[in-house]
Amino acid sequence: MDKKQLYGNEISLLASEEHQEYVRLNLEKIRARRQRFGVPVVALAGAEGKTSTKRMLYAILSRCGTVLETPLDCDNAIDICNTLLQLKESHDFVLLELGMINARQFELAVRVAQPTIGLITNVGETHSPQVGDKFEVAKTQLELIRRLPPSGSAVLNMDDELVNDMASFAPTPNIIKFGLNRSAQFYASDIEYLGPAGTRFLLNGEFPLHLPVYCSASVYNALAAIAVARALGVDLSTIAAALQNDYAILEGRGNLLVHQGMYIFNYTYDATVNSVPRACEALVQLRQHCKQLTLVLGEMRDAQGDGRVAHLNLGFYLSALPIDTVITVGPKAAYVAEGIRRINHTRKKMVSFPNLSALQERIVEFLKPESALLITGSKEQNLAPLIPLICQQTVRL
C-alpha cells in the first residue's frame, strides 16, 4: 500500500478507543521524522485568507528555494501528516495550512508540525459549529502560538483584537505584527483600488506595491505573506517581484474574469460572515468602470443559529452600498433581501430564488453589457456552475 494512503487511513481522531494508542504511536513517528529536518516550517491558521496567503508565500519562497506545501483545503491532522511524509533534504521551506475541523485535530496538527513560524490571519466574527463562537475559535488557534519554540516567530494581525492579544501568550520574543495600523511592523497605507487593474499601496509608507488583487482582504493577505517572508530573510525586491509577477488568485477565491465586456468576480469557493462584506468591496470598486453592479449571493456558511440574524445584518450592510441588483439564492439568503427592503427598498432591484436551478433558468435576464457581477455562496451550495453558464449566455447578448 502507498505510504501516504497508509497513514491517511490510520490517522483519524474518529478511531475507536482500542485504536487510539496505535494512532498516537503513528503520530509520534511522524513527529520524530519532522525533527530530522532543520528546515523552516511555517504554519498558517485563521478564519479566512489562509490559502491565499499560502499561495503568496509560495510565489515568494519559490524564488529562494524548493517549497513543500499542504494541498488546498487542508483542514486536519491527516493532511499535515501526509505532507510531512513527503519532506526531503532538498526542501528549503515548508508551508502548512492548518484548517479547523475541531480543536483536537488542530492541536494534533500543531504538535506534529512543530512550526518555527506561526501565522494567524484573523478571527473576525467567525463561528464554527465544531469549535464554537469566535472566542473558542481564538482559543483553539492560540495553540499554534503557544507551541512555538523560543527561537520561533509569531506573525499576528494587529487589527484583529483577538489575534493581536495572542502575543502575550507567545513563548518567543519574536512577535511580528501586520495590518493597516501604522504601529505594525508591516502596514499598508495610501491604498488605491484600481478596479480591474488591481490594487496599489505603500508598504510601511515608502515601498510601492501594485498587486493583482481587488479588496482589503487581499491586502491583509499580502501583508501577512510579506511579514513571514521578511522573518525568513527574503529581501523586499524579491518579495515585490514575486507578488506582482508570480502570484495569481485561485479560481473561486476572488479571481476576476473579463468576458464580452462584462466583469465577473468569482467568489464561489465559500461565503462567510467575514468574507462576503470584503468581497463586496471588490464589486463596488468597479462602479466607475461599469454601468451596473449585480451581486449574486447564496447563503453564508458560518452564520450562527438558524442564520436569520446574520443574513438580515448583511442585508442592512448591503443597503448602503451602490449595488444595483441583488439576487439571492436559498431560503436563508432571502433574509438578506428582507434586510435590504427594511432599510432601502426603493433603490435596488432584488430577486430571490429558492435554489441554484431556479436561478440558472433565468440568469440571462440579469446579464447586461458593461456590467459587473460578483457571485458568492457557501461551499455546500456550490454556485460555481453559474460561471460557465454566464459566459455562454453573454456571447448571445
Domain boundaries, the chain: 3-245, 255-394
The yes-or-no verdict on residue 59 having pLDDT over 90 is: yes
pLDDT digits (tens, 9 = 90+) for 295-328: 999 999 877 777 899 999 999 999 999 999 999 9
**What CATH code would you report for 3-245?**
3.40.1190.10
**CATH node for 255-394:** 3.90.190.20
Q: What is the mean pLDDT of residues 262-279?
A: 94
Reported as half-sphere exposure (CB side, CA atoms, 13 A), residue 56 has a value of 26
For 108-156, write each residue's pLDDT tens digit: 889 999 999 999 999 976 655 566 788 988 999 999 999 999 999 999 9
pLDDT band of residue 270 (cuts 50, 70, 90) is very high
Phi and psi torsions of 273, nearest 5°: -60, -35
pLDDT tens across 160-169, in order? 999 999 999 9
* pLDDT value, residue 286: 94
Which pLDDT belongs to residue 15?
47
Q: Binning pLDDT at 50, 70 and 90, where does residue 93 land?
A: very high
Q: What is the mean pLDDT of the chain?
A: 89
d(CA 182, CA 204): 8
Considering the chain, what percentage of its residues have pLDDT values greater than 70?
Answer: 90
Q: Characterize 14-50 residue by residue with b for buried, 16 or more Cβ atoms within 10 angstroms of its Cβ, and e for exposed.
A: eeeeeeeeebeebbeebbeebeebebbbbbbbbbbbb
- Sheet harboring 117-120: ordered strands across? 67-69, 93-97, 41-45, 117-120, 153-157, 175-179, 186-193, 199-203, 207-211
pTM: 0.90
Confidence of residue 22 (pLDDT cuts 50, 70, 90): low
H-type alpha helices, 16-66? 20-35, 50-61
Alpha carbon separation from 371 to 277, 289, 294, 325, 376 (Å, rounded)? 20, 8, 8, 11, 17
The whole-number pLDDT of residue 131 equals 63
